[in-house]
Structure 1
Amino acid sequence: MTTPTTVTGERADILALLQRHRGFLKHTVRGLTDEQAKRTPTASALSLGGLIKHVSATENGWAAFATGGAEAMLAEPSDWVDGFRMVEGETLAGLLAEYEKVAARTDELAATLDLDASHPLPEAPWFEPGASWSVRRVLLHIIAETSQHAGHADIIRETIDGQKTMG
C-alpha cells in the first residue's frame, strides 16, 4: 500500500474498509492453480479469476471517473465479453498483480482527492439521468462492488474445495 501514514478520519475509514474487502476477495483465490481459478463450478458463468479481473477493471474505471469524470472512465478499456473470465494467456498471478497496481492507485486517490469533488455520471440506463457522484460516493461504490463480488467468490471457492473465507 502506498497510502501516506497520515491518513486519518473518514479517509482512513474508507481505506480500511476497502482494504478489508479486497483482502476477503484475494483470500478466496489463495493457493489455487490457474485451472482452478478458471473453473465455473456454480450455476453462474463466474470464475474466481474472472471475478478478480472484473473487480480490478471496475475499480480502475471508477478511479478514472474520480479523477476525470465520465470521459476518463469511458476512455478506460473494457471487455464485456471476456471481462468476467480468464482468457488464454492470463494467469491468476498476473491478474492479482494487476489488481495490486489498481488498488495502490485507488488508495492514493482516496488519500489525496477532494472527497466532495463530483462529476456527472455517464449516460446509461442504470444511472439516474443528470446525476453526479462525488469522489466519496465513487469510493463507497468501489467498496460495495468489491464486497459483493467477494461474496460471489466465497461461494465459488467453497464449491471448488470447501474453503470458506469466514468460518
Structure 2
Amino acid sequence: MAQISPEVLGDERGTLLAFVEAQRTAIRESLLGLSEEQAASRPSVSELTLSGLLKHVAECELSWLRMAQQRPNELGRTEETWAEAFRLVDGESVPSVLAFWNDVAEQTAAFVAEVPSLDATFPLPPAPWFPENGKVSIRWMLLHLVEEFARHAGHADIVRESLDGTRAMG
C-alpha cells in the first residue's frame, strides 16, 4: 500500500507519485542487506536477479520520462544492448544504480509537478506492442509505472525469498 506522508500532496499528482514511490520502495527494499554477489545471483530457473530488476526499472522509468518529455533517451538502448538493461555491467553496482534511479525519480517528480495537466499526451514510438500513431497521457504513464514497478516488485519478492527466506510482507 502507498505510504501517506505529510510531504505528499493529497491531489491527484501527489497521490499517483506516492503510489509510484511505494512500488519503487518495495523494489529497493528487496536488496537490503545483500552483497553484490547475492543481488546478482539467480536462485531459480528465471534469468531475473535483484540487481538486474533494479537496473531494468530504473531504465524503464527514464525511458518513459524521456518519451513524455519528448526528448531523446541518453541510454540509447538498441536490440544489441537490450539485455544489458537486466544486468549490471562496466563497474556498475547496486549503490550506483540506486543513485541513478533516485535521480530519475527526482526528474519524474519535477516533470509531473511542472506539466500543465495530467491529461497532456505524448506520442508512443513505433513498436509492435504500441498502436500505430498511439499517444498516452502523463496520467497513463504514471499508472503504467505503478503497474510496471508492482509487477517487478513481485518478482523481487520471489527472488529475495528464494535467496534467504526474507519476505517483504513479514
TM, length-normalised to structure 2 = 0.88
Counterparts of 1:5-154 in structure 2, within 5 Å, are: 5=7, 7-68=9-70, 72=71, 76-78=75-77, 79-113=81-115, 114-154=117-157
SS of the equivalent of 1:81 reads: helix
Alpha-carbon separation, structure 2, partners of 1:6 and 1:52: 24
Could you tell me which amino acid in structure 2 is paired with residue 28 of structure 1? S
| Equivalent pair of 2:157/2:168 in contact (CA under 8 Å) | yes
Corresponding residue of 2:4: none
Could you tell me which amino acid in structure 1 is paired with residue 152 of structure 2? H
Superposed CA RMSD? 1.6
| Equivalent pair of 2:124/2:134 in contact (CA under 8 Å) | yes
Alpha-carbon separation, structure 1, partners of 2:135 and 2:106: 25
Alpha-carbon separation, structure 1, partners of 2:122 and 2:32: 37
Alpha-carbon separation, structure 1, partners of 2:119 and 2:46: 37
Structure 1: unaligned runs, 5 residues or longer: none
The percentage of aligned residue pairs carrying the same residue is 39
| Equivalent pair of 2:8/2:18 in contact (CA under 8 Å) | no
CA drift at 1:49: 0.4
Structure 2: unaligned runs, 5 residues or longer: 1-6
CA drift at 1:150: 0.7
Could you tell me which amino acid in structure 2 is paired with residue 125 of structure 1? P
TM, length-normalised to structure 1 = 0.89
1:51-73 alpha-carbon deviations (Å, 9 max, x no partner): 010000000010111111xxx35
SS of the equivalent of 2:169 reads: coil
| Equivalent pair of 1:7/1:111 in contact (CA under 8 Å) | no
**How many residues are paired up?**
160
1:101-145 alpha-carbon deviations (Å, 9 max, x no partner): 111111112222121111221110011122210111111111111
Alpha-carbon separation, structure 2, partners of 1:66 and 1:8: 23
Alpha-carbon separation, structure 1, partners of 2:123 and 2:154: 30
- Answer 1 or 2: higher relative contact order, Cα 8 Å, separation at least 6: 1
Could you tell me which amino acid in structure 2 is paired with residue 64 of structure 1? R
